[in-house]
Amino acid sequence: MIKNLGHRKLSKTGSHRRAMFSNMATSLLLHEKIRTTLPKAKELRRVVEGIINDAKKGRKFSVRKAVHSRNVYNKIFDVIAPRYKDRAGGCTRILRLGARKGDAAETAMIKLVD
């Protein structure tokens, strides 16, 4: 019996979760920092690290499949992958921002490390 599949469900279907993280990864790679809830930031870290590692290894189809913006796709290969080529991992940083006013959800800022 498999009890833990290794990711958070976040009360969303699989297709909704994949689309959401694709959009969030695109925004993060474009703006280099975004503000979201803490559980989403922790899961987004896994997605973005994978995209950056694929770009460093030259896997263009995998990156294109994950990112749906031509501008971000070009930025990944021209700017971001060369920036982290000597780094083994840990390209993102999560900063906790505190509770959100409306529903007291724990918010965080995820950004790319310089």
Per-residue pLDDT tens, the chain, 114 aa: give them.
777 777 888 889 999 999 999 999 999 999 999 999 999 999 999 999 999 999 999 999 999 999 989 999 999 999 999 999 999 989 999 999 999 999 999 999 999 998
Q: What is residue 60's predicted lDDT score, i.e. its pLDDT? A: 95
Please state the separation of Cα 60 from the chain's center in Å. 17
Question: Is 14-112 assigned to CATH 3.40.50.300?
Answer: no
Where in the chain are the domains? 14-112
Q: pTM for the complete prediction? A: 0.90
Measured CA to CA in angstroms, residue 41 lies from 22, 57, 78, 104 at distances of 13, 24, 25, 16
Separation CA 47–CA 40 (nearest Å): 11
Q: What is residue 43's predicted lDDT score, i.e. its pLDDT? A: 95
Q: What is residue 25's predicted lDDT score, i.e. its pLDDT? A: 97
DSSP state of 32: S
CB 90 within 8 A of CB 100: no
Helices 38-56 and 14-31: angle between axes, nearest 10 degrees: 70
